[in-house]
Structure 1
Amino acid sequence: MTRKFELLVGTTAGNTEFLASELEAELQTKGFLTHFQDVPEFKQTALNAIWLLCVATHGAGEYAESIQAFIEDITQEQPQLDGIQYAVVAVGDSSYDTFCQAGKDVDALLQSLGARPITDMLMIDMMLNAEPEKTAKLWLSRWIEQI
């Protein structure tokens, strides 16, 4: 059976969306099915898929606008996510105290609802990383073969 990935993107300027699209292409070349949500909706998210969240931190540690409704929905509904496996790519700027805070927060939220991370969160510093998609692809390659 071919595994499916839900790519859930939280972006403001589009950099994180580009990074997620590069990861989607990599997953597809490995034979995985993908569903890309640049404005994620919980009700449209497959519960039998692996969730790959690519989340930028905006402002003073907030979620990017494109993923706010998704976060609000799961925070309010408190669904049991015991069967969900997920991975997080957190994007931020280390010159802020809230570096990658949105990624850290979504990781904690998903775990509190019973979801299980399949690998350590990748934190990308956009101030220091000129090619974050290469870093993300390398991270993906380290664990994807175990799926």
Structure 2
Amino acid sequence: MANIKVLVGSTYGNASQIAEDCTDQLQGLGHEAAVLSEATYEQVVEDTDVLLICTSTVGQGEVPANLLPIYEQLKDRSPVLSHVRFGLIALGDSSYETYAEGGKQMNELMHDLQAKPLGQTLYIDSCETPDADEEAASWIDVWSTKL
């Protein structure tokens, strides 16, 4: 089974709740999974095989404050993460021009660091998705089979 580190970018708690629920679900499937709500560079770079990133977008399309430090450290230091596989859940509101931009920035960074995407990104649009938790749970069921 996989050892999964879950990175969270959340301002109002929606992404945090989804990350916690996904972590519980992954553990129930037999994986080791832990939420890192304010991850350090060492936690992300050392002994990481799989990352699950769950993030919202704030302001004018920025990465949330609790995820921003690790985003900037990874961007500045540019470690090669070619051995890391990752999944991404991006929350947003499509009525804004910067819909899910925080997730898109994390996705671009992971690709720049040579991490390997594991399945398709899940975009959860608050305008169109009445139950984000249910959408994420369905996605985790499929995503976890790729581990």
- Residues 59-99 of structure 1 show CA distances to partners (whole Å, capped at 9, x for unaligned) of 11000111000001001100011101000000001110110
Aligned length: 146
Q: Partners of 2:61 and 2:71 in 1: how far apart?
A: 14
- TM (norm. structure 2) is 0.95
Query: Given that residues 52 and 88 in structure 2 are in contact (C-alpha distance below 8 angstroms), is that contact kept between their aligned partners in structure 1?
Result: yes
Q: Partners of 2:54 and 2:120 in 1: how far apart?
A: 13
Look up the match of 2:41: 42
- TM (norm. structure 1) is 0.95
Q: Tell me, yes or no, if structure 1 residue 82 matches structure 2 residue 79.
A: no
Structure 2 residues not aligned, in runs of 5+: none
CA drift at 1:143: 2.7
Alignment RMSD: 1.1
Question: Which SS does the other structure have where 1:54 is aligned?
Answer: strand
Look up the match of 1:19: 18
Q: Partners of 2:54 and 2:15 in 1: how far apart?
A: 6
Q: Kindly provide the amino acid, as one letter, of the partner of residue 8 in structure 2.
A: V
Look up the match of 2:92: 92
Query: Given that residues 47 and 83 in structure 1 are in contact (C-alpha distance below 8 angstroms), is that contact kept between their aligned partners in structure 2?
Result: no
Look up the match of 1:52: 52
Q: Partners of 1:42 and 1:120 in 2: how far apart?
A: 25
Look up the match of 1:113: 113
Stretch deviating more after TM superposition (19-28 or 135-144): 135-144
Structure 1 residues not aligned, in runs of 5+: none
**Percent identity of equivalent pairs:** 27
CA drift at 1:119: 0.8
Q: Partners of 2:129 and 2:51 in 1: how far apart?
A: 24
Q: Partners of 1:114 and 1:33 in 2: how far apart?
A: 23
